[in-house]
Structure 1
Amino acid sequence: MAIFKIVHITKYQYNWPIKESINEVRLFPHNFSNQDVLDYRLLITHNPDVEFYQDYYGNRVANFNNLESHEEMVIESRMTVRVNHSLKIPAIDNTTVKDIGKEKSENINLLRLNYPEVIQKQQEIEAILAAIDVANKPIIEIAQLCNQYIFDNFTYTKGITNIETTIDEILEIKKGVCQDFAHVLLQLVRTVGIPARYVSGYICPYESGLRGEGATHAWVEIYTPTQGWLGLDPTNNIWTMDNHVKLATGRNFYDCTPIKGTFKGLARQTLSVCVSIGYEDGRHYEEINDVLLEEIPQEINEQISYIEQQHQQQQ
């Protein structure tokens, strides 16, 4: 069992004032059998009214509209979470993919989480599955083999992918970060016929050298009829442990995006994320990352450049 105090600060900055920033937030830790939320606070620039609802996958979501003109917006999520994964490694049982058949036919959620994405390199996915010989193996063993394959054959490299990077591109370069590896693992196990979901959260460091520690993290949960949802972390080739804190689940990253939104105005924006983790013994860990955003459409980019040129001429 472990208790973590996590502060997640998201800072948007704009080179010109913008207004009517409409946002959707999924930064609320789950309450479930192995995780208790002891305290939670959400702080937002200008203190806008916030509406809450639960999405299709059971995630708590906040919506708000920051109407005032601003050049900076900070969203601060503060939480205290107790995690207790009593079972570190699932039991190997003889449950196979065929044993999920009836449940999938009766549960539309499992069915939705069973279909792989439509990609160009699906033959490569099937070749990987053939190479690691998953035929007729139990679900748990298949998942472990897929997890191991990603860990052994893909290189953890920051800064070369972003939220728009496709599974095809990851299969091509064999490099990426936790989000990319989670998407590849989802494609592998779903192709076999195992329902699986994307999980967003944090991996809190214990000075263990795990990749992705101290920042937002992503992994996968597979479903078995005998043991329910089980977490697999392909970035580290482990089952989820006491230092995995879960935020949201869905089909892929887009269902679990921590913050997404839009605004009125012509401006270039930058985004930085700071995650701070405190421990019961007083230790503290902090990591700050500048996030690579989607490219601005050329037409909008030209308009912003024109405004900047006009401003420089007037100085």
Structure 2
Amino acid sequence: MAIYTITHITKYTYEKPVIESINEIRIFPYICKEQELLNQDLNISYSPILHIYTDYWKNKVATFSILHPHQELVVENHLTVRTTSPHLIQVNFHSDFTQLSIEASKNLYLIELMKSEKIRNQQLINEIATSITQDNLSVAQAVEKCSSYIFKHFKYVQGITDIETTIDEILQHKAGVCQDFAHLMLQILRTLNIPCRYVSGYICPNKTDMRGEGATHAWIEAYIPQFGWAGIDPTNNTWVTNYHVKLAIGRSFKDCSPVKGTFRGNCHQSLSVHVSIRYEDGKSFEQTNAVKRRDPFLIPEYLDNNPMGNQQQQQ
């Protein structure tokens, strides 16, 4: 059991005034038995009215709009969260793929999370999946072996990928960060017909040497038959522990983005994210990153025939 005080500040800056900024935030700790929200203080530029709802994945979501001209948008979130001892899964847990097939066959939610993405280099994913399961492993052992494979064969390198990086690009780089490794692991496990989901949150290791501290983090949860959802962190090759604070879950990052939205205006934007974590012993860790994004004017999914110039923003 541990208590963390987390500050997460998202700041958008626009080169010219923009209007009609419509945004969606998923920065409320996920409701589950592994953690408890003790306090939350949320401050947003211009104090907009928040409209709160629960999405398909059971994430708490808030939407808000800023209609008047502005050149800056800041979302400042202060959390105090207590993590409780999770039921850590044992890798020798006996449930196998036959049992998984039986449990998933009548569960549309699990079936949805078994479908892999269509990518160019699926053959390489197939080869990795085959190498993982060649020893007749249990489902839990296969999940752990997948995490170990990514940890050993892909380097943790910041700055060579961005939030639009595809699985094909990750395979080409053989490197990336937590979001990339989570997406890669989802593709491999879904190729093996293991239901799995993306998780966004924070990692708070304090005195241990783990990657991703002081920034938003990502990992995955796999469905283990006769057990349920088990979190595993391929960036650090470990099952999820009290060091992990969960914000949102979904099929991929697109379902879990902490802040995303659109605005009206024909200009470039810059995004910085500051995260600080304070521990019970008084130690703190903080980091500020300028988030790398591809030019929205050059990405097909961002091109819009709307003459008013609507653009997207996302953390």
Q: Is the 8 A contact 1:199 1:250 kept in 2?
A: yes
Note the C-alpha offset of 1:45: 0.2
The alignment's C-alpha RMSD in Å is 1.7
Partner of residue 51, structure 2: 51
Partner of residue 215, structure 1: 215
C-alpha separation in 2, matches of 1:86 and 1:292: 34
Partner of residue 185, structure 2: 185
1:281 aligns with 2:286: no
C-alpha separation in 1, matches of 2:121 and 2:135: 20
Identity of aligned residues (%): 49
C-alpha separation in 1, matches of 2:258 and 2:138: 34
| Offset from partner CA, 1:18-65 (integer Å, 9 cap, x none) | 111110101110121110111112210000111011111000111000
Letter in 1 for 2:278: G
C-alpha separation in 2, matches of 1:96 and 1:291: 41
Count of residues in Structure 1 that have an aligned counterpart in Structure 2? 301
C-alpha separation in 2, matches of 1:135 and 1:107: 28
1:78 aligns with 2:78: yes
Q: TM-score, normalised by structure 2?
A: 0.92
Q: Is the 8 A contact 2:143 2:189 kept in 1?
A: yes
Q: Is the 8 A contact 1:134 1:142 kept in 2?
A: no
Partner of residue 15, structure 2: 15
Q: Is the 8 A contact 2:201 2:244 kept in 1?
A: yes
Note the C-alpha offset of 1:151: 0.3
Letter in 2 for 1:43: N
Note the C-alpha offset of 1:89: 4.6
Q: Is the 8 A contact 1:276 1:287 kept in 2?
A: yes
Note the C-alpha offset of 1:102: 2.9
1:113-128 mapped onto 2 (5 Å cutoff):
113-128=113-128
C-alpha separation in 1, matches of 2:66 and 2:82: 32
| Offset from partner CA, 1:203-249 (integer Å, 9 cap, x none) | 01312120111110000100012211101100011001111000000
Partner of residue 268, structure 2: 268
Partner of residue 146, structure 2: 146
Q: Is the 8 A contact 2:206 2:279 kept in 1?
A: no
- 1:10/1:45 CA distance change after superposition, 3 Å: same
Partner of residue 98, structure 2: 98
Q: Is the partner of 1:79 in helix, strand or coil?
A: strand
Partner of residue 163, structure 1: 163
C-alpha separation in 2, matches of 1:261 and 1:291: 16
C-alpha separation in 1, matches of 2:10 and 2:75: 5
Q: Is the 8 A contact 2:96 2:225 kept in 1?
A: no
Q: Is the 8 A contact 2:91 2:144 kept in 1?
A: no
Partner of residue 240, structure 2: 240
Partner of residue 172, structure 1: 172
C-alpha separation in 2, matches of 1:8 and 1:111: 34
Note the C-alpha offset of 1:135: 5.6
Note the C-alpha offset of 1:136: 3.1
| Offset from partner CA, 1:104-135 (integer Å, 9 cap, x none) | 22221111101111111111011112233446
Q: Is the partner of 2:105 in helix, strand or coil?
A: helix
C-alpha separation in 1, matches of 2:252 and 2:134: 23
Letter in 1 for 2:170: I
Q: TM-score, normalised by structure 1?
A: 0.92
Note the C-alpha offset of 1:297: 1.2
C-alpha separation in 1, matches of 2:111 and 2:265: 41
Q: Is the 8 A contact 1:51 1:62 kept in 2?
A: yes
Structure number having the greater helix percentage: 1
Q: Is the partner of 1:71 in helix, strand or coil?
A: strand
- 1:124/1:135 CA distance change after superposition, 3 Å: same
Q: Is the partner of 1:172 in helix, strand or coil?
A: helix
Stretches of structure 2 that go unaligned for 5 or more consecutive residues are 304-315
- 1:135/1:120 CA distance change after superposition, 3 Å: farther
| Offset from partner CA, 1:177-221 (integer Å, 9 cap, x none) | 000000111111111111000000000131212011111000010
Larger-Rg structure? 1
Partner of residue 231, structure 1: 231
Q: Is the 8 A contact 2:91 2:141 kept in 1?
A: no
Letter in 2 for 1:54: T
C-alpha separation in 1, matches of 2:222 and 2:192: 12
Stretches of structure 1 that go unaligned for 5 or more consecutive residues are 302-315
C-alpha separation in 1, matches of 2:163 and 2:296: 14
